[in-house]
């Protein structure tokens, strides 16, 4: 689904009219599916203006309206028959014989529906369907239900729709209780679809549509299976405020993002006690932030494995924990959960080095080697554990054992843990070195920082270990480049922050047109990416 985000309703109306006009200019005998309601009125006004300026010729088009109340007289000023005449048909050079609206006066609604569906087929199907969206997520009059009837049919209106549409009638009792509507399959058979959403009262369903799963309780989510849908939305309907939560072993970071900008961040310590209290603490911080920043969606990045929404993480009290469901007990809104490394990659893609790129790979060097792959702007998940780049095998025979059960995994050679292991071994074997001096002064312990200190003091022992480390790092990076051909590989993690030693060495031995960069966002990437899930 492509999103055109407009500043306001006027811009939305203009954009929509332009798309409809282009369709008619390119194919003058187009079959257009029309919608009613308040939202498309501005679009119709713009189309009338374009007609008056001689920019569009409507004489050869055929139209099919989405729906009509049932029963309703054509003369009733709330019938969609009346609406179309008032807002469009009487003002342009359309051939009225080629316009179709389900007959709200029919004695046999079932036959009328079959006839209507047949007529659409006879005309070769709909080239471009315009849709509005009800506050409950209905399209046409396809109301939320456990299962949706797919072709043109007679339907009962829900309480919610009767209430919402009573604004056009004298009172609620006057609103017809039924309607004739194209079904979801009728709509999905259209070659192209434009969906219009305007106003804050649509923001909940728009958010569900953009962030939620396909489900019959929000019928518009069915549009996600269509290959050519453009959602034109104004800022009121599209809440740009999102919350990202990055759960880590020591802290949980929160980031509020509005229209692509970080506007607030906070963090709390990670509770290693019970799962319930940890989730409650996270939820409480979400609620506290919401009072100030009324976000509409939450994205959560978490370490560990996520299977069907259930998270199991070794450093945290999550064991088959359905994080989204648990958080929803405290805060009921659209919540998406993904792996933390994927979120960091998405953060860097949306806000950092990857901002103007299509494909990036983020490689995080730390205790292990983690990463996220973004292809064409989307996180690649695959079915099982795609993106677990730390576990690509770089040493086939005699490789070091890995906690994942394999041997020779990349993270056994390219993680900071591996660098420290090798450096410790080397300095113990050569006590006459700067590296050993730093090691012994630090209670016989090395860390990434000390290794870099030794490198800066030109210690040959540290240099040898580091060169070998770079060789292993580069082997994995080469594999990633060969498989994915990304625009950039972005390195993150504590050791990438230290001077240019690492990045210079990698660039020198990689010799590739692919950009090798250091993460711009580092610790903020995860929460920012989570916000954009």
Residues 258-287 that bind ligand GLP (CB under 6 A): none
Return the residue matching tokens 């031995």.
509
Give the DSSP letter of residue 270. Answer: P
Using CB under 6 A, which of the segments 24-32, 35-43, 119-127, 484-492 binds ligand GLP? 35-43
Residue closer to ligand GLP by CB (options 80, 452) is 80
- Residue 178 and residue 161: Cα distance in Å, rounded? 10
The alpha carbon dihedral of 170, 68, 200, 164 has a sign of positive
Residue 140 makes contact with ligand GLP by CB under 6 A: yes
The per-residue b/e assignment along 299-321, b for 16 or more CB within 10 angstroms, e otherwise, is: bbbbbbbbeeebbebeebbbeeb
Are 389 and 398 within 8 A, CB to CB?
Answer: no
From candidates 63, 99, 155, 161, binder to ligand GLP by CB under 6 A: 161
Please list the alpha-helical segments (H only) found in 27-158. Answer: 41-52, 80-87, 109-122
Under the binding rule (CB under 6 A), the answer on residue 174 touching ligand GLP is: no
Active site residue 10: no
Q: Minimum Å distance from CB 233 to ligand GLP? A: 12
Pick the binder of ligand GLP from 12, 50, 67, 489 (CB under 6 A): 67
When the beta carbons of 39 and 46 are compared against ligand GLP, the nearer one is 39
Based on the shown chain and the rule CB under 6 A, indicate whether residue 134 belongs to the binding site for ligand GLP: yes
Question: If DSSP codes are grouped into helix, strand and coil, which group holds residue 227?
Answer: coil
Q: Which of 37, 42, 248, 371 binds ligand GLP (CB under 6 A)?
A: 37
Q: Does 132 bind ligand GLP (CB under 6 A)?
A: yes
**66 binding ligand GLP? (CB under 6 A):** yes
> Does residue number 39 form part of the binding site for ligand GLP (CB under 6 A)?
yes
Strand partners, 64: 33, 100
Say whether residue 223 binds ligand GLP (CB under 6 A).
Answer: no
Considering 136, 142, 342, 359, which one is annotated as catalytic? 136
Please report whether residue 387 would count as binding ligand GLP according to CB under 6 A: no
CB 416 within 8 A of CB 366: yes
CB burial of residue 417 (10 Å; 0-12, 13-18, 19+)? middle
Q: Report the residue number, 218 or 289, with the smaller CB distance to ligand GLP.
A: 218
Report which of 341, 353, 356, 267 is spatially closest to residue 529, judged by C-alpha positions: 341
Question: Contact at 8 Å (CB) between 256 and 293?
Answer: yes
Which span (129-137, 393-401, 454-462, 495-503) binds ligand GLP, by CB under 6 A? 129-137
Half-sphere exposure of 340 toward its Cβ, with a 13 Å CA cutoff? 24
**Residue 338 in the binding site for ligand GLP (CB under 6 A):** no
CB of 133 to ligand GLP, least distance (A): 5
- Clarify whether 228 is annotated catalytic: no
| 127 belongs to the catalytic site | no
151 is a catalytic site residue:
no
Q: Which is nearer to ligand GLP, 238 or 349 (CB)?
A: 238
Least distance (Å) between residue 39 CB and ligand GLP: 3
In the chain, the largest separation of any two C-alpha atoms, in whole Å, equals 100
Q: Is 299 in the site for ligand GLP (CB under 6 A)?
A: no
Contact call for residues 348 and 520 (beta carbons, < 8 A): yes
Under the rule (CB under 6 A), what is the footprint of ligand GLP?
A: 35-39, 66-67, 132-134, 140-141, 161, 165
Active site residues: 67, 136, 138, 143
């Amino acid at each position: 689904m492509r999103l055109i985000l407009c500043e306001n309703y006027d811009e939305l109306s203009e954009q929509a009219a332009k798309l409809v006009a282009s369709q008619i200019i390119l194919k003058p005998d187009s079959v257009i599916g029309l919608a009613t309601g308040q939202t498309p009125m501005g679009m119709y006004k713009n189309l009338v203006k374009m007609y008056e300026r001689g920019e569009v010729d409507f004489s050869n088009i055929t139209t099919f309206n989405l729906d009509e109340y049932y029963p309703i007289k054509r003369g009733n000023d709330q019938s969609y028959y009346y609406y179309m005449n008032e807002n469009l048909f009487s003002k342009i050079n359309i051939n009225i014989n080629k316009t179709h609206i389900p007959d709200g006066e029919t004695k046999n609604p079932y036959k009328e529906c079959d006839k209507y569906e047949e007529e659409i087929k006879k005309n070769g199907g709909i080239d471009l369907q315009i849709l509005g969206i009800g506050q409950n997520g209905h399209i046409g009059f396809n109301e939320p239900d456990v299962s949706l009837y797919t072709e043109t049919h007679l339907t009962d209106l829900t309480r919610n729709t009767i209430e919402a549409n009573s604004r056009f009638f004298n009172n609620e009792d006057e609103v017809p209780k039924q309607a004739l509507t194209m079904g979801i399959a009728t709509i999905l058979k259209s070659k192209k679809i434009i969906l219009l959403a305007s106003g804050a009262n649509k923001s909940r369903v728009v958010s569900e549509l953009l962030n939620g799963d396909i489900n019959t309780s929000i019928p518009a989510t069915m549009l996600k299976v269509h290959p050519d849908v453009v959602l034109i939305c104004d800022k009121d309907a599209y809440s740009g405020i999102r919350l990202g939560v990055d759960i880590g072993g020591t802290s949980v970071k929160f980031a509020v993002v509005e229209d692509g900008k970080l506007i607030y961040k906070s963090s709390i310590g990670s509770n290693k006690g019970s799962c319930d209290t940890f989730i409650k603490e996270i939820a409480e911080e979400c609620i506290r932030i919401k009072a100030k920043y009324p976000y509409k969606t939450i994205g959560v990045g978490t370490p560990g494995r996520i299977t069907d929404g259930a998270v199991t993480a070794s450093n945290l009290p999550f064991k088959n924990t359905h994080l989204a469901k648990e958080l929803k007990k405290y805060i009921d809104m659209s919540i998406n959960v993904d792996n933390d490394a994927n979120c960091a990659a998405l953060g860097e893609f949306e806000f950092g080095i990857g901002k103007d790129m299509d494909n990036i790979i983020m490689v995080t060097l730390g205790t292990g080697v983690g990463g996220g792959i973004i292809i064409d702007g989307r996180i690649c998940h695959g079915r099982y554990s795609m993106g677990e780049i730390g576990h690509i095998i770089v040493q086939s025979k005699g490789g070091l054992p890995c906690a994942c059960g394999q041997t020779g995994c990349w993270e056994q050679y390219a993680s900071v843990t591996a660098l420290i292991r090798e450096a410790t071994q080397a300095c113990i074997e050569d006590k006459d070195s700067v590296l050993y001096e730093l090691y012994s002064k630090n209670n016989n312990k090395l860390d990434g920082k000390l290794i870099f200190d030794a490198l800066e003091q030109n210690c040959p022992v540290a240099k040898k270990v580091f060169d070998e480390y770079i060789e292993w790092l580069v082997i994995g990076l080469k594999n990633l480049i060969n498989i994915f051909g990304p625009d950039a590989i972005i390195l993150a993690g504590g050791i990438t922050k230290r001077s240019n030693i690492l990045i210079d060495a990698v660039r020198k031995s990689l010799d590739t047109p692919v950009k090798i960069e250091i993460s711009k966002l580092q610790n903020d990437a995860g929460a920012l990416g989570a916000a954009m899930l």
